[in-house]
A and B are shown apart, each in its own frame.
Chain A
Amino acid sequence: MKAEPSSPRTFPWRLQRQIGVTPWAGLLARGVAVLLALIISGVVIELGGLPAIDLAKRAIESTLGSAYGLQQAGLLATSLILTGLSVAVCMRMRIWNIGAEGQLFMGAWAATAIGIHIEGPVIPMFLAMFLAAAMAGALWILVPALVRAYWNVNEIITTLLLNFVAILFVNHFSMGPWRDRVVGVLTATYRIPYELPSLVGTLHIGILIAILIAIGLYFVFNNTRWGYEVTTIGRNRRAAEFTGMPVTRNILIVMLLSGAIAGLAGAIIVTGTAHRLSGFISNEYGYSGIIVAALANASPIATIIAGFLLAVLLNAGIVLSTQGLSVNAVIAINGLILLFAAIGEVAASYRLVRDVEEGPGESPIGGPQWGTPVESAAGAVDTGQGGEVET
């Protein structure tokens, strides 16, 4: 209780864990995580006999050094922002959608089904394809969402297992019934005759759709009753239940919305860049979306930035695949980034505090982030909305 003057502790400062992370500490931690992961990867690449610094230079030049490189990165960012948003929407409620990859494939499948079988004026066709894709994505997460909402079945594994099913499903159609027999390709469908219009060069307007959805979600989460409910349930489910918020219904809505966004990403890929459905349309966008959402701390606006960051990395992996990098290498680097970001999240919750006589004034402030267990979130409801979740 009372610190004696002759206390053996001479150093008056110590680390104290706080509940929640201030936005700046969290941002700093994630920045350091990305840098640390890149440096370690560089050292490993160098030890593996490849010129790491030279590769990094080329990666930067090839992406940021030319208009074409920027446009390519923009295309990758379109998919990554959308899958990132898909994961982030769930993450707001502490639900994990690991199935964005599968929902993306099902969305692409639905858009292709309409695109290659129906003819019509361009704008209604696009609306139909996008709507079908969003519905297919939502349908693909329906079972995991129902069993999560009503039986509390772990959604990480159910959503993930369906990814494998979705890819097999798409492969069946792209290599079987819908295979382009005119051109004679083995693994892709007929070309979809509808193309998303270009914005600049090779970059199509999909990027605008992605950014608009991000902005829309920002407003929904910060300015609507429903957005407030979702954020509150995410912070403290039990408290939200006590105040009468419809938790089960919101779990369903959030998960279906998440699936719909991922499905839309699939439609944008097949109508914008791939033009034919195949098992190769996704560079593991659904999985990378998890990293995007984690780096963005589930904030829609930050998702745009994190999406671009990972897009630049992924583009480097694709462009430099002849020099020894590859998409796989980038996935491994992404894994390191995520690992360090998770550690950084905890590190950021520590403060250096001065050991004075303890008083009530020292109680930690700020609500919990998605990284902290629900149980520690008691009493966080009254902190209001949008206070510490970065936007």
Chain B
Amino acid sequence: MEDVLAGVLATAVASGTIIALAALGEVLAERTGVLNLGLEGIMAMGAVSAIIAVNVFSTTAFGGLVTSAIVGLLMGAMFAVATVIFKANQVLCGLALTFFGTGLAGRLGAPYAGQPAQARFQRVPIPLLSDLPILGRGLFNHNVLVYFAFLLLPIIVTFLLYRTRHGLSVRAVGENPSAADASGIGVAGLRFLYTSVGAGLSAMAGAYLTLAFIPSWAEGVTGGRGWIAIALVIFAGWRPIPIVLGALLFGAVTSLGFVAQLRDWGIPAAFLSMMPYLSTLLLMLIPFMTKRRGERRLGTAPDALGLPYFREEG
């Protein structure tokens, strides 16, 4: 029983990491008012570039991670050029990026499908804490990316958004770009920066998939996790800490599915595999269900989310 619990917890944390990384990246972009629906494609490209770096160019796992982060930054910059510089429709460009990324990843990765990753992220047990019963194996015996996604990154994002002047500017750009512009904040610059950084984090989530979680590459390896991350941002009300908790919750659902499959609880595998998608859908609806009439919810979308900013002229 202890083993099962520890295993469920460990898998929950591990699969939640993918969502946490991507969703924390997305929240940075969305806080500046840019809705990046291309996460799925960026994550797929991150996953494939990491495996190519490691298996073809024999880099270390860290090298693979950096490669995928650079690929993600470039794709984010590509999206930002289209939506921030040219001010094209963000929904269309996001979908375009998803098609572009998943298609290209499928084509580039075809020769490496099924190959195990030659370099992987190793577990780094935290001294003392990892000796705890159940929790030790469940929470404190993971690779560095997991700790980064659940501890370091949420702290950085929270501090940046809520405790710095820069973060205030970021939020101002997302809520009211013309007021931000009038007060001298560079709207386009901030949007460009955080769209790219967010995309880089999503790509790292892809690298985590192929270099730690699975660890190999196959077509469709991302399995909609980019979209789940976007849904999680809505569920979490665009706040970093709820995002991390939501990612854990999502991980727990996924993990329970694995356990049910292994222990054969009599539910067909296909229906268990649906659970992450269906529970994400349900989670997404909760903030709307609990909304009372006339009451302003905590955590609403940035007012300018999805809208290109044109400076009023003459």
Give A residues with C-beta under 8 Å from B. 17, 96, 98, 143, 147, 151-154, 156-158, 160-165, 168-169, 171-172, 176, 287, 290-291, 294, 326, 328-339, 341-343, 345-347, 358, 371, 373, 375
Contact = CB atoms under 8 A, between A and B. Distances in A.
B102 interface: yes
A162 B91 CA distance: 18
A329 B107 contact: yes
Given A161-B280, A328-B104, A334-B103, A172 B96 contact: no
A154 B301 CA distance: 11
A373 B308 contact: yes
A162 B281 CA distance: 8
Is chain B's interface secondary structure helix, strand, loop, or mixed overall? helix
Contacts, number: 146
B206 to A, nearest CB: 16
A39 B180 CA distance: 39
B107 A328 contact: yes
A157 B227 contact: yes
Contacts of A157: 227, 230-231, 234, 284
A169 B284 contact: no
Contacts of A151: 285, 288-289, 291
B224 interface: yes
Contacts of A147: 285, 288
A343 B86 contact: yes
Interface stretch (B16-24, B131-139, B162-170, B265-273): B265-273
Contact of B96 (A163, A164, A342): A342
A34 B33 CA distance: 28
B92 A164 contact: no
A17 B314 CA distance: 12
Task: Sort A-B residue pairs by CB-CB distance and give the 5 closest, nearest first.
Answer: A335-B100, A331-B103, A332-B103, A335-B99, A328-B106
B82 A164 contact: no
Question: Which of B41, B96, B274 has the largest count of A CB atoms less than 10 A from its CB?
Answer: B96
Contact of A326 (B41, B99, B106): B106
B277 A339 contact: no
Contacts of B306: 373
A343 B278 CA distance: 34
A346 B102 CA distance: 25
A144 B289 CA distance: 14
Given A162-B277, A345-B89, A326 B107 contact: yes
